[in-house]
Amino acid sequence: MTKTKKISYWIATLWLSLGMLSSGIFQLLQMKAGMDVIVHLGYPAYLGPILGVWKVLGVAAILAPGFVLLKEWAYAGFFFVASGAAVSHVIAGHPFGEVFPGVLLLILTLTSWWLRPVSRKVPSVQAVTA
């Protein structure tokens, strides 16, 4: 892995982690700003703390060494949450400024996943059987 790719991976991963952790804490603690958005989009208020727990756990999984299969699940979860948020805001007719955070988290998720080092990837079936 080149130095540039490694630095790019960690920048994307740390920004993704910061975004998911901060929004997860807002939702977990049921802070008014985070809950208002969820309810305004038409989702039940109880979804906030559920998403908050999974976001915090996902950040831990992505940053911790090892647990490569768990990392794949965390990336998948982040993909679903970020794309779901972006689409929900678009469907609700919100301006781009409200859609952008979801799009940004989606881009960071895909970038971090794409650039992750070999040590953070699930070995392929061919590599295991060879």
- What confidence tier does 123 reach under pLDDT thresholds 50, 70, 90? confident
For residue 130, the model assigns a pLDDT of 54
- Cβ distance 83 to 99 under 8 Å? no
- Cβ distance 129 to 33 under 8 Å? no
33 part of a folded domain: yes
Distance CA 40, CA 59 (A): 26
Range of the domain at 110: 3-114
Number of structural domains, the chain? 1
The percent of residues above 70 in pLDDT, for the chain, comes to 95
Helices (H), the chain: 3-28, 32-40, 47-63, 68-91, 96-115, 125-129
For residue 128, the model assigns a pLDDT of 55
Predicted TM-score (pTM) of this structure: 0.90
120 part of a folded domain: no
126 part of a folded domain: no
